[in-house]
A and B are shown apart, each in its own frame.
Chain A
Amino acid sequence: MSSDALTGSSMNSELTRLTAAELAQKIHSREVSAVEVTQAHLDRIAAVDDRDEGVHAFLHVDASAALSAAALVDESLDAGTAPASPLAGVPLALKDVLTTSDMPTTVGSKILEGWRPPYDATVTARLRAAGIPILGKTNMDEFAMGSSTEYSAYGVTRNPWDLRRIPGGSGGGSAAALAAFEAPLAIGTDTGGSIRQPAAMTGTVGVKPTYGAVSRFGLVACASSLDQAGPCARTVLDTALLHEVIAGHDPMDSTSIDAPVPDVVEAARRGASGDLRGLRVGVVRELSGEGYQPGVRSTFEAALRQLEALGAELVEVSTPHFRYALAAYYLILPSEVSSNLARFDAMRYGLRVENGATSAEEVMALTREAGFGPEVKRRIILGTYALSSGYYDAYYGQAQKVRTLISRDFAAAFEQADVLVSPTAPTTAFPIGDKVDDPLAMYLNDLATIPTNLAGTTAMSVPSGLAPEDGLPTGLQIMAPALGEAVMYRVAAAYEAARDAEDGGPLIQRVPGLEVSA
C-alpha cells in the first residue's frame, strides 16, 4: 500500500498496533524508519496519556531524546551497518526506577522529585547500546511498594481496559503503556510481583528473570535480595527478544550471575510452532483455588485444558511452605527497605526540607516526613522494628528460614514437573480506591507471585483470557527453576499460540479505543 493512501495519523496508529518483532522487521528492511515508529508512539502517548483523564502511564516523556536515538538507528541502517540488535529502532517505556543520565529518575517518590542521575543503569546502557529509543519513564508505586500504582506520588495510572480501574503495580505504568499501545516494549522490576501482576491485569506479558540474570546496577533498590528487572511486551516473542538485550553478567553487580543467557528467543519460536509433548506441568495445589475470583479460576482451568491439549502432562504438586511466604516477605522486604532507603536524607540529592531546622538530624527527619508516602513509611517502620536488637532472630531470622524452606519446596516441585503454573493474581483489576486504605487486602494481590522472589527463581505472566463476570484480563503464571527461562518461554509461547488460535487473535487487540474523542 502506498503511503499516499493513508493519512499520517492512520499510518501511525497502524504502526502502534504492531508487535516489536514486526516493527523491527519493517525498520531493518527500511520499510519504515525508526524515527517514524518512534514518532507514531509519541503521538499515541500524546493522544491517550493525559495525567488527569487518560492512562497516565508516563511520568516523563522525552520526545527529542527518543527521536534522536531513533535517528541514529536510521543513519546506521542507511549506511549499511547491521542493526545493533534484533530490536534496534523499536522504542521502549522504561520504569522510573532505573537510572537514566538524560532523564529524571523519581521512583514515583516526592523525595527524588526532579533528581537527574549522573549515570545510566546497566539496563539503560544495554538498551541504548541495542539501539532501542527510550520514550520516557513510566509510573509506579513509590519505591515499587504497592500493587496498584495508587501509591505513586505523581498520581495513579489507569488501566486501558477500564480507566476507572488500577493497572496493577508497582509497574502499572509499564504494563499500561503496552496495553494502551503507547509502547511495544517496556521494562519493569519485580520484587514480589511488580512485573507479573500488572501484566495479568492489563493482558500483557511480563517476565521476572532468575535473580541475578539482569543487572541491578542503577535499579533504585526496594529490597536488594528480591528486586529483579525484567522484560515486558504484548507477546511472548517480543518479551524474549527484550530479555536477551538486557540479561547477562555485569561486573558492577556482585549478585549478577556469570553464566550464559538462556536462548529464550529460540525457545519462544520453538514453543510457538510446536507442542508440549513430554513436558510435565505442575499445578501448585496451594495456589490453585482458594480465594480466587470465579473468572480467574475459570480462565486458569481453561488454560490447564489448553496445556493438556498441547500434549503437556499435568501433575499436582504441593508446596506446603508457600503459606508462610507472604509473612516472610513482609519481614524481609521491609527490613531491607528500612536500610536501603536510609540514604534519602537530603544531604546530597533530592528533596530538602529545612523549615527552620537547626541540625542535620532535624533536616533529615523533616525531609523524610515530607518526602515519603504512607506505604513507604509503613514499611520503613516495620523493617526498623524487625531488625532491632532483641527482635532480629524472631523476625528477620525466622523469615530467612522460611525462605530456605520455600526454596526447598520449589526444588522438590521441580523434581516432579518442568514448570509450575498458577493464576498470576487472585482477582482482575480492581477499581481505583478500592484497596488503598486496606494494606492487607493489597498485600494479598501478590500471594502467588512472592514465592518466586523469595526463592530467586524465574516466573512470568501470560494473558489467559477475560474473566466472564467483568470482561477483564487474567494471567497465567508459569514458574521455572533458576536459569530455567528457556523452558518457561517455550511453554508460554505454545500456550499463547494455542489461545490466540482459539480466540481468533491476540487478546490485547480487544482493548477499547482510548483516544479522547475530538
Chain B
Amino acid sequence: MSAPASTPGLVDYDEVVERFDPVLGIEVHVELNTNTKMFCGCPTDFGAEPNTQVCPVCLGLPGALPVVNRAAVESAIRIGLALNCSIAPWGRFARKNYFYPDMPKNFQTSQYDEPIAVNGWLDVELDDGEVVRVEIERAHMEEDTGKSLHVGGATGRIHGAEYSLLDYNRAGVPLIEIVTKMIPGTRERAPEVARAYVTALRDLLRSLGVSDVRMDQGSMRADVNLSLSPRDSGVLGTRTETKNVNSLRSVERAVRYEMTRQAGVLLDGGPVVQETRHFEEASGTTRPGRRKETAEDYRYFPEPDLVPIAPSQEWVEELRGTLPELPWERRKRVKAEWDLSDEELRDLVNAGALDLIAATVAEGAPSGEARSWWVSYLAQQANTRGVELAALPISPADVARVIELVASGELTNKLARQVVDGVLAGEGAPDDVVKARGLAVVSDDGALITAVDEALAGQPDVAQKIRDGKVQAAGAIVGAVMKATKGQADAKRVRELVLERVNA
C-alpha cells in the first residue's frame, strides 16, 4: 500500500480478503406489473407520454385519498411466501415524510415497521454449485415516485440544471422492497454471492409473474450495502449503501469496488464514512452522493388515510396454492427428467437458458432439440447482440414451433435458422416468416422430379456410376438439385428421388 494519505488508493483484491471479512446486505426494489397503481386506478404501462397516466390520487391533489390495490397485496404475499417468509396477519402503512418535487404528496406511503412479509430465506447457487442461504429480513409494499428530468447543466443532475421536468406516470406504481439480513462469511466470494442473489431473486420473481424484472428499465433496482470487518474479528465495520446498480454485472462490480475502496480507507487509518454512494457504470467505481447538511428525519407515522392490511389465513393459503413451480424446484425436476449431470444443469442455469428451455418443452418441443436451440444458435445470437438470452425477441413458443416445423419436414435445419433470424428481426411469428420469405421446403415431388431428372441428364457419367452401384456418387446429384432449388428441398427426399429416377 503506497497510496498518498489524502486519497487512499484501492487495495489489491487478494489483500482485501486476506485482511477483512466483507459483510453484505442487499435491498432490491421491484416494480410490480399490476395493471393499476398501488393506490389508484391509473395504468402502469412503461413508456407512455409523460403525465398521461395520472389522476387526483397519484398527483396528490388536495382531497384525494388512496385505496390499496388488492392485486399488489396479492403479489406481495406471493413474493413473501416464495421467499419462505411469514406473512403478517395485520399491518399498517406509514408515511415517510420528505420534500422532493417528484413526490406528489411530499411523503411516500410505505410499510415501515409493519412489513407484510418477514424472516424468510432464499437459497442461492454459485457458479461452482455451492449453495449459500441468504436470509431475508423483510419484504414490504410501497409506492414509487415520479421521475425528474433535469435540463441544462453539464451533469444531467439537479445541481446546475436550468430547469427540471417532472413526469408523474411512475408516481404510485407499486413497489416491493426486499431486504436481506446481513450476509456474513462470503469472504472472497462476496461479489459473486451478491450477483447470484440478485439473479436468483430475479428468476424467482419472473417465475411468479409479478414483475417485468427489467434492471435496464428500472423495474428492478438493487442497492448494495457493504462493510468490512477486520478478518475473523466479528467486529462490524461502517457500511456504505451503493445505489444506481442497474445490471447483474454491476452488482458484482459494485461490491468488488467497495471492498477495495473501503479497505484502502481502513488501511490508510481513516474511518469509512456511513453514506449513500452511486455506482458509475462506465468506470465501475462508486462516488459519494450529495452530502446532506442535516440528517434526514422522515417523521414516520401510521398512514391515517388507509385501514390496516389484515390478510386472513385462508387468503394466504389460497395464494400459497397459486405459487408456480419455483426455479429451484424446476431445476430439480428438469435435472431428473432430462437426465442432466450437475455440470450440465449448472451450465444451463448460468447461461440463463434453463427456464427458456423448460418453457419451450412446455410448448411441446422435445427437450433435446429445445436445449440445442437455446444453448447453441440462440446463445450465439444473444452473444452477438450483447444481450441476455431471455432478452432475445423470440419466445419459447416460437422456438417450439420452429422445432415442430423441422420435425414435420416442412423446414430443413438450415431453413429453420433463417426462420429464427426472421423472428429475431421482428418479421413476426415463425409461420409468418416462412410465408413472407418463401422458405417452405419444396416438397412437391413433381417439381423435385423435374429438377432431379435435369441434374441426372446434366451429369450422365455420375448417373452411370450410380446405376453401377456406387450409391455414394448420388451426393453430387443431390448437391446439384439443392443448388437448383436454392436449398429449399429436403435433401433426404432428393436422395430418395435420385436413386429412384436414375433407373427410370
Contacts and interface: CB of A to CB of B under 8 A. Distances in A.
Contacts of A220: 62-63
Interface stretch (A84-92, A337-345, A439-447, A510-518): A337-345
B63 A336 contact: no
A252 B66 CA distance: 7
A364 interface: yes
* Nearest 5 A/B pairs, CB to CB: A342-B106, A387-B299, A224-B304, A225-B304, A220-B62
Interface in A313-348: 335-336, 338-339, 342-345, 347-348
Contacts of B164: 360
Interface in B164-191: 164, 166
B64 A218 contact: yes
B104 interface: yes
Given A105-B62, A343-B62, A347-B166, A251 B99 contact: no
A119 B56 CA distance: 8
A115 B56 CA distance: 14
The B contact surface, by secondary structure, is loop
A118 B299 contact: no
Interface string B103-134: 01111000000000000000000000000000
A112 B62 CA distance: 10
B457 interface: no
B9 interface: no
B6 to A, nearest CB: 31
B454 interface: no
A124 to B, nearest CB: 10
Interface string B326-344: 0000000000000000000
A220 B305 CA distance: 12
A254 B73 CA distance: 15
A396 B301 contact: yes
Contacts of B306: 254-255
B49 interface: no
B66 A392 contact: no
Nearest to B62: A220
B215 to A, nearest CB: 29
Contacts of A62: none
A99 interface: yes
B65 A216 contact: yes
B99 A117 contact: no
Nearest to B159: A359
Given A107-B62, A112-B62, A255-B307, 6 more contacts: A99-B62, A217-B65, A252-B67, A342-B106, A360-B164, A387-B301
Interface string B146-166: 000000000000100000101
B297 A388 contact: yes
Interface in A331-384: 335-336, 338-339, 342-345, 347-349, 360-361, 364, 384
A344 B99 CA distance: 10
B101 interface: yes
Nearest to A390: B297
B32 to A, nearest CB: 19
B305 A118 contact: no
B146 to A, nearest CB: 10
B59 interface: yes
